[in-house]
Amino acid sequence: MRASTIIAIPTFRRPDQLRHLIEAIAKLDRLEDAALLVADNDAGGEGAAVAAAMAEKGLPIPIEVIRVPEPGLCHVRNAIVAHALSMEGMQRLVMIDDDEWPEPQWLAALLTVQQRTDAAVVGGPVIPVFREGTPDWAEQTLIFRPEQRPEGPAEMLYASNNLLVMRPALVALGAPWFDPAFNRSGGEDLDFLTRLKAIGFTFAWAPGARVSEWVGADRARRAWVLRRMWRIGVTDTRVARKQRGLIGRVGLGLRSLALLGLRTAALPALAWQRHRRLDIAGQWVKALARLYALAGGSDAIYAAPNPLSSPRRGSS
C-alpha cells in the first residue's frame, strides 16, 4: 500500500462506531493519494474483522489492518507510527479516534492549513455529540466545550484525536513516540506534542477540520467530569515535570500551590453561581491533582486495555 497521506485509527472493541467512522472517511474530500490504516488493540480482533469486511465491500481508498497484541494507548499509537513510517511514500500521518467521525471537508482542511502555514503538526476541533436524554448541564460544562481558535499558527496543541503530523517530525522525535510511562494514565498525546515543540517543530490550527465525538451516558455524569479533571491535572503535571530540572520542578510546585490557593478562594462562588458549580469544583480538583502528581503520584485509570479516547482539555 503506497500513499502520501495515511489516515490512522486506533480501535478497541467499538465495532459499530468503527464502521460508522470508516463510512464517513469514505465520503471525505481530497482522498487522492490517501490510505487508511486501522490498528486493532483487541486480542479478539473484532475491529480488524470490521475493517476487513468493509474493505471487501469496496472503499474509495486502500485500507490496511494491523493487530497490536500488547494492550494500552501508547503501544497501539507507537505501532501506528512505526508502521506508517515503514510505508513507501508516506509524508503525513493523520490520526482520529474510533468513537469519532469527520465532516466531509475534514482532511482537506487539515491539508490546506498545513500547506499555508508549513506547520509540522495541525490540529482541529472535536465537537461532542450527546445522546438523547443527556442533562443540560453536560452540554454547558467546560470539559465538553470544543476548542475555538483562529485558523493559522498555534502556540500549542493538546490531543491526538484530530491531528496531522508531518513525517520529518516523527522521524526527528524517534521511538517511542508515545512514552509508555503514560500507558495506563493517558496524557501520552500531550507528552508527544510537548516533546515535538521542545525540539522546534511548529503547530497550526484548522477550525474547518471538524470531527464529532459520541458522548455516552457514562460520561454525562458529574462524577465522571470531576474524575476527568483530576486525571488532566495529574497527566499535565507529569508531562511538565519531564521537561524540567530540579529548579524548574520547584518553580512548578510553587505555581501549583498558588493555583490551588486561587481555586480554593473561588469555592465560595459555588453558593451563587449554580450554572458554573461543576466547572469551579473541577478546577479545584485539577489544582489539587497537580500537587498529587508533583509528590510522585500517578493515575492508573486504565487498569485494562483502554477505550482509546483522548481527554478533553480543561482550562489552566
Map 129-180 to HEC letters: EECCCCCHHHHHCHHHCCCCCCCEEECCCCCCCEEEEEHHHHHHHCCCCCCH
pLDDT (0 to 100) of residue 75: 94
Q: What are phi and psi of 30, to 5 degrees?
A: 60, 50
> Where do we find the cell 476541533?
125
Q: What are phi and psi of 164, to 5 degrees?
A: -115, 130
Asked whether the beta carbons of 311 and 156 are under 8 A apart, the reply is no
Homologous superfamily of 5-215: Spore Coat Polysaccharide Biosynthesis Protein SpsA; Chain A (3.90.550.10)
Nearest Cα neighbor of 186 from 145, 236, 118 is: 236
Q: What are phi and psi of 66, to 5 degrees?
A: -120, 150
Residue 179 CA to its chain's centroid (Å): 14
Within 10 A of 246 (CB to CB), how many other CB atoms are there? 7
pLDDT digits (tens, 9 = 90+) for 181-205: 888 778 899 999 999 999 999 999 9
> Where do we find the cell 503530523?
165
Question: What is the bridge-based pairing of β-strands 34-40 and 126-130?
Answer: unpaired
Asked whether the beta carbons of 144 and 107 are under 8 A apart, the reply is no
Distance (Å, rounded) from C-alpha 304 to C-alpha 307?
A: 9
Going across the sheet that includes 92-96, the strands are: 63-67, 34-40, 5-11, 92-96, 162-166, 121-123, 203-205, 152-154
pLDDT (0 to 100) of residue 300: 53
Spans of all domains in the chain: 5-215, 222-294
Cis peptide before 176, with omega less than 30 degrees from 0? yes
pLDDT (0 to 100) of residue 316: 37
pLDDT < 70 stretches in the chain = 298-316
Q: At 30, list the grid cell.
A: 481530497
pLDDT (0 to 100) of residue 184: 78
pLDDT (0 to 100) of residue 310: 42
> Where do we find the cell 486506533?
10
